[in-house]
C-alpha cells in the first residue's frame, strides 16, 4: 500500500515496494517516483482529453512519458494509452480525431533499424494499432495540426546543404561514420541551454494526409509512412527556437522568424508561410524598439494574436503585450496594452470573441479572459498556476494543468461562464504534504510590498521554532508560483525546516515597476527585498532566527553568492548553477545579447559577486553541471577556486575546508535524471543538517 491513494488504473511508483514513509517528501525514492504531468490535447469534438505523464523506468534511472486519457466529464478514471519503452510525447488530434504523437521506438514496428530517431505516430480514431505516420532522418521535433482540416505540420532539423531527405540521410550517415561532430558557425547563437546549435537547423514540413487516416483500420495498417514536404528549404537558422501556429483550415502557418541584426544580436519577426506553395511573406518586421512572437491564428483564420515585446535596454526591462493583426489589411492594434501583466500562454475562444491568457499574478498564474472588442481583461481563476490551456469546441469550458506550491500539476476543467474549476480524475492524486503553505508579506523602505510563500513544517511553534531556509528564485524575471520538481520546499519541510520563497524586485506578477526597480541593479533592491522578507519571517515566534540558511539556483545562485559576500547572517549557503563573475558570464552564456542589453561593463562590475569574495565567511555548497550552457561551467569552476583561494574562509593549509563542490559531469543547468536529483537533495540536505542543525554529515556511498 503506497502513501498515495491509487486505483489500479493509476500510476504506481517504486515507492510502493518500500516501507511506508509518512509522506513521499520524507523519502527521496518515494519523491522521485511521484508521477509528473505535462502537456494536454483535446479532440476537436471535445470528447477526448489526453495528458502526458512521466514516471520512472524499471531501474529508476530515467523518466519515461506515456500518454493517458482523462475523462473531460470527470466521471471515468484516467487510463493509459501508450506503453513504448522510450515513451511518447506531443499528443495532438487531427480534425478527424486521430491521435498523433512523437515517439522513439527502436524498430518502428517494421523490424528495420531506424537509428532510433523520434518519428510521428498515429493512433487512428477508427481503431487499430499505432503506426508510423512520418519520419525524418534528423528525427521529428514538433508537430502541429490545423484544428478543422488540412495538413499536419512537422518540425525537424535539416543540414543546411541538404535539398532533400535522401541527401539529408546521406550527410548524417557520413558524419556519423567518420565521427565528425565539428560545426562551422557563421552567426550567433551557437548553443542553447544544453545542446549545440548546428549544423542542422529546424525546418517546417507539411505532411499531407489526403484523407488517408479516415480509412478503415485494416487499410490504415498497410499504409507506408507519408512523405514530408519541405516548406522552408531556405530556413537557415531563421527557425531556431521559433514558435509557430497553424491556421485552423491548415492552409498557412504563422511563425516566428529569427533575423540576425549584427553585433551578435538576433530579433524576431512574424512570417506567414503558405502550406500549399511554401511561399513566405513577412507580416511584422522587428526593429530596435519592438519584436514579435507567440502567434495564434484566430478561429476564422483572418487575424493573428501575437505578443509584441518592447525590447529591453539599459534604461528599461522588456515589456510584452498582446496585440491583434488583421491579415487582410495588415493593421495591428493592442489588446492588453493598459494591462500591467506579462501575457503568457494563450488560446482563442472558438467564436473569436476573445482569448484565454495565462499571466503571473501575486504568486499565482491565473487564467484571464481578454475581450477582442475592447481589450477588457477579467481574471477567471483564483489559486494555482495554469499551463497547457485548451478550449472546448463549444466555448463553454477550458481544460488546463494546474499546479501550485501545494500540489504538482493536475488536470482541471474550467467552466467559462461560472469560473468554477473542477479537478478531473487524473492519473495520480495529490501527494500528502508534511506541512502547510501560507503567504506572508512585508513593506520595504521605498514602500513596495514584497510577498512570499512560507512553507511551515507540522509542529512549528513558539516552543519548537523551525530553522529557516531562504530559497531565492531564478530568472530573475520570474516568480515563485508553481510546483517545481527541482526546487521542492517540501523535502526540506519534511526535515523540519521552514522554507521562505520570496518574490523580490525583478519578479513577475506585480507590475512593470516591480521589474524596473531591480533592472540593472541586481545587488541593490533584489537583495534588500530578500533581506527584508527574511527579517519579517525570523521575527515570527515559530521561526528560529539563530538557525538559517540561504540557497538558490541560476539567478537564485547569483543572489546566493551576493548574499554570501554581503552578510554573515546565514549558517550555510547553497549555490546551484550560479553566476559568479559577470564579465565572464555575460559573453559566454547561450544568449549573450539578451543580458548585454541590461548590463554594460560598469553594471557588471558593480553587481558582480566575485568582487566580494574576501568578505565570504559562510560555508558554501557549490553545485554545477558541466553541460550547463545557460550559466557555463566556468562560473562554477572560478567560484570554487576563488572560494578556496581567497575567500574570508579559505582552504586551510592541511587541505581541509567547510566548502563543498558537487559537480555533475553529464547534467546541464538543471539536474534532471532521477538518481542525480536524489543525490542533489541528499547532498543539499546533508550540508544543511551539518551546518544549520549541527548534525553529522550523512554517508553517501554512491559518491565514493
Ligand X SMILES: CSCC[C@H](NC=O)C(=O)N[C@@H](C)C(=O)N[C@@H](CO)C(=O)O
Interface ranges with ligand X (CB under 6 A): 474-478, 553-555, 591, 594, 630-631, 669
**Cβ-based nearer residue to ligand X, 388 or 478:** 478
Contact 270, 281 (CB under 8 A): no
Question: What is the residue whose three cell numbers read 543546411?
Answer: 160
The least distance separating ligand X from the CB of residue 598, rounded to whole angstroms, comes to: 10
> Length of the chain in residues, anyone?
704
**Cβ-based nearer residue to ligand X, 531 or 631:** 631
Helix (H, G, I), strand (E, B) or coil at 611: helix
The least distance separating ligand X from the CB of residue 475, rounded to whole angstroms, comes to: 4
**Cβ-based nearer residue to ligand X, 594 or 612:** 594
Instruction: Work out whether strand 290-297 and strand 244-246 pair parallel, antiparallel, or are unpaired.
Output: unpaired
The least distance separating ligand X from the CB of residue 469, rounded to whole angstroms, comes to: 17
Distance from C-alpha of 472 to C-alpha of 553, rounded to nearest angstrom: 7
Q: Which residues pair with 449 in a beta bridge?
A: 443
672 to 67, 576, 606, 623, 660: CA distances (angstroms):
20, 13, 33, 14, 21
213 to 136, 144, 150: CA distances (angstroms):
20, 16, 12
Distance from C-alpha of 55 to C-alpha of 12, rounded to nearest angstrom: 8
The least distance separating ligand X from the CB of residue 486, rounded to whole angstroms, comes to: 7
H-type alpha helices, 433-550: 489-493, 512-516, 525-538
**Cβ-based nearer residue to ligand X, 343 or 435:** 343
Sign of CA dihedral 338, 339, 341, 343: negative
**Cβ-based nearer residue to ligand X, 39 or 625:** 625
How many helices and strands (H and E) does the chain possess? 12, 38
Contact 350, 397 (CB under 8 A): no
Q: Please give the DSSP secondary-structure letter assigned to residue 676.
A: H
The least distance separating ligand X from the CB of residue 362, rounded to whole angstroms, comes to: 18
Question: What is the crossing angle of helices 555-566 and 525-538, to 10°?
Answer: 70
The least distance separating ligand X from the CB of residue 508, rounded to whole angstroms, comes to: 9
The least distance separating ligand X from the CB of residue 195, rounded to whole angstroms, comes to: 15
Query: If we measure between CA atoms, which residue out of 159, 110, 116, 111 comes closest to residue 102?
Result: 116
Residues 6 or more apart in contact with residue 240 via CB below 8 angstroms: 189, 192, 197, 201, 202, 258
**Cβ-based nearer residue to ligand X, 453 or 555:** 555
The least distance separating ligand X from the CB of residue 511, rounded to whole angstroms, comes to: 16
**Cβ-based nearer residue to ligand X, 477 or 623:** 477
**Cβ-based nearer residue to ligand X, 196 or 234:** 196
Helix (H, G, I), strand (E, B) or coil at 402: strand
Q: Which residues pair with 284 in a beta bridge?
A: 270
The least distance separating ligand X from the CB of residue 138, rounded to whole angstroms, comes to: 25
In this chain, which residue has its C-beta nearest to ligand X? 474
Query: If we measure between CA atoms, which residue out of 526, 522, 504 comes closest to residue 603?
Result: 522
The least distance separating ligand X from the CB of residue 330, rounded to whole angstroms, comes to: 30
Query: What is the longest distance spanned by two Cα atoms in the chain?
Result: 78
**Cβ-based nearer residue to ligand X, 46 or 243:** 243
**Cβ-based nearer residue to ligand X, 144 or 515:** 515
Residues 6 or more apart in contact with residue 148 via CB below 8 angstroms: 44, 95, 248, 249, 250
The least distance separating ligand X from the CB of residue 285, rounded to whole angstroms, comes to: 22
**Cβ-based nearer residue to ligand X, 454 or 671:** 671
**Cβ-based nearer residue to ligand X, 457 or 553:** 553
Q: In what order do the strands lie in the sheet with 385-391?
A: 385-391, 397-404, 407-415, 421-423
* Cell numbers representing residue 469 in the block: 531556509
**Cβ-based nearer residue to ligand X, 150 or 344:** 344
The least distance separating ligand X from the CB of residue 477, rounded to whole angstroms, comes to: 3
**Cβ-based nearer residue to ligand X, 22 or 587:** 587
Residues 6 or more apart in contact with residue 686 via CB below 8 angstroms: 697, 698, 700
Q: Please give the DSSP secondary-structure letter assigned to residue 34.
A: S
For 101, phi and psi rounded to 5 degrees? -160, 165
The least distance separating ligand X from the CB of residue 624, rounded to whole angstroms, comes to: 13
* Cell numbers representing residue 207 in the block: 505532411
The least distance separating ligand X from the CB of residue 476, rounded to whole angstroms, comes to: 5
Amino acid at each position: 500500500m503506497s502513501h498515495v491513494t491509487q486505483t489500479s488504473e493509476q500510476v504506481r511508483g517504486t515507492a510502493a515496494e518500500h516501507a511506508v514513509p509518512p509522506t513521499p517528501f520524507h523519502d527521496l525514492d518515494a519523491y522521485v517516483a511521484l508521477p509528473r504531468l505535462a502537456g494536454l490535447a483535446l479532440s476537436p469534438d471535445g470528447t477526448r482529453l489526453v495528458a502526458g505523464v512521466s514516471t520512472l523506468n524499471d531501474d529508476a534511472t530515467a523518466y519515461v512519458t506515456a500518454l493517458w486519457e482523462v475523462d473531460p466529464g470527470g466521471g471515468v478514471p484516467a487510463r493509459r494509452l501508450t506503453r513504448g519503452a522510450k515513451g511518447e510525447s506531443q499528443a495532438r488530434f487531427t480534425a478527424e480525431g486521430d491521435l498523433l504523437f512523437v515517439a522513439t521506438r527502436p524498430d518502428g514496428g517494421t523490424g528495420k533499424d531506424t537509428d532510433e530517431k523520434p518519428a510521428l505516430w498515429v493512433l487512428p480514431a477508427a481503431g487499430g494499432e499505432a503506426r508510423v505516420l512520418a519520419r525524418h532522418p534528423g528525427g521529428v521535433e514538433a508537430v502541429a495540426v490545423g484544428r478543422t482540416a488540412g495538413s499536419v505540420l512537422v518540425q525537424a532539423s535539416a543540414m543546411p546543404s541538404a535539398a532533400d531527405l535522401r541527401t539529408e540521410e546521406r550527410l548524417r550517415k557520413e558524419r556519423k561514420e567518420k565521427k565528425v561532430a565539428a560545426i562551422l558557425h557563421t552567426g550567433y547563437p551557437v548553443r542553447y541551454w544544453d545542446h549545440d546549435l548546428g549544423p542542422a537547423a529546424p525546418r517546417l514540413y507539411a505532411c499531407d494526409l489526403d484523407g488517408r487516416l479516415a480509412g478503415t483500420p485494416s487499410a490504415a495498417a498497410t499504409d507506408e509512412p507519408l512523405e514530408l514536404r519541405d516548406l522552408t528549404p531556405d530556413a537557415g537558422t531563421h527557425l531556431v527556437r521559433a514558435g509557430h501556429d497553424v491556421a485552423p483550415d491548415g492552409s498557412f502557418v504563422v511563425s516566428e522568424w529569427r533575423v540576425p541584426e549584427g553585433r551578435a544580436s538576433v530579433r524576431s519577426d512574424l512570417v506567414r508561410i503558405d502550406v500549399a506553395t511554401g511561399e513566405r511573406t513577412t507580416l511584422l518586421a522587428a526593429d530596435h524598439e519592438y519584436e514579435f512572437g507567440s502567434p495564434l491564428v484566430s478561429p476564422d483564420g483572418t487575424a493573428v494574436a501575437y505578443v509584441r515585446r518592447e525590447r529591453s535596454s539599459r534604461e528599461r526591462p522588456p515589456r510584452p503585450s498582446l496585440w491583434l493583426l488583421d491579415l487582410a489589411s495588415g493593421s495591428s492594434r493592442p489588446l492588453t496594452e493598459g494591462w500591467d501583466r506579462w501575457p503568457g500562454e494563450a488560446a482563442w475562444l472558438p467564436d473569436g470573441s476573445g482569448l484565454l491568457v495565462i499571466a503571473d499574478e501575486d504568486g499565482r498564474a491565473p487564467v484571464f479572459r481578454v475581450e477582442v472588442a475592447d481589450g477588457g481583461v477579467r481574471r477567471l481563476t483564483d489559486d494555482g498556476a495554469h499551463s497547457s490551456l485548451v478550449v472546448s469546441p463549444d466555448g463553454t469550458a477550458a481544460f488546463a494543468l494546474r499546479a501550485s506550491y501545494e500540489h504538482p500539476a493536475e488536470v482541471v476543467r474550467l467552466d467559462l461562464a461560472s469560473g468554477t474549476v473542477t479537478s478531473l480524475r487524473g492519473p495520480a492524486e495529490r501527494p500528502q504534504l508534511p506541512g502547510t503553505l501560507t503567504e506572508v508579506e512585508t513593506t520595504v523602505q521605498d514602500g513596495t510590498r514584497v510577498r512570499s510563500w512560507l512553507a511551515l513544517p507540522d509542529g512549528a511553534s513558539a516552543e519548537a521554532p523551525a530553522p529557516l531556509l531562504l530559497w531565492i528564485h531564478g530568472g530573475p524575471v520570474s516568480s515563485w508560483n508553481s510546483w517545481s520538481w527541482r526546487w521542492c520546499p517540501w523535502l526540506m519541510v519534511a526535515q523540519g525546516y521552514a522554507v521562505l520563497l520570496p518574490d523580490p524586485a525583478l519578479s513577475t506578477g506585480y507590475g512593470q515597476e516591480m521589474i524596473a526597480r531591480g533592472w540593472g541593479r541586481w545587488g541593490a533592491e533584489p537583495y534588500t527585498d530578500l533581506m527584508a522578507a527574511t527579517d519579517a519571517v525570523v521575527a515570527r515566534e515559530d521561526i528560529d532566527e539563530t538557525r538559517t540558511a540561504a540557497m538558490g539556483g541560476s539567478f537564485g545562485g547569483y543572489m546566493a553568492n551576493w548574499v554570501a559576500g554581503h552578510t554573515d547572517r546565514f549558517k550555510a549557503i547553497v549555490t546551484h548553477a550560479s553566476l559568479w563573475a559577470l564579465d565572464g558570464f555575460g559573453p559566454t552564456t547561450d544568449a549573450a545579447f539578451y543580458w548585454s542589453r541590461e548590463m554594460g561593463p560598469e553594471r557588471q562590475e558593480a553587481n558582480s559577486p566575485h568582487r566580494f569574495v574576501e568578505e565570504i565567511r559562510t560555508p558554501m555548497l557549490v553545485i554545477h553541471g558541466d553541460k550547463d550552457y545557460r550559466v557555463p561551467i566556468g562560473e562554477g569552476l572560478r567560484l570554487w577556486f576563488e572560494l578556496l583561494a581567497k575567500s574570508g574562509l579559505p582552504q586551510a593549509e592541511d587541505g581541509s575546508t567547510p566548502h563543498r563542490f558537487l559537480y555533475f559531469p553529464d547534467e546541464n543547468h538543471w539536474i534532471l535524471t532521477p538518481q542525480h536529483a536524489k543525490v542533489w537533495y541528499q547532498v543539499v540536505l546533508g550540508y544543511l543538517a551539518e551546518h544549520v542543525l549541527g548534525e553529522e554529515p550523512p554517508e553517501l556511498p554512491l559518491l565514493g
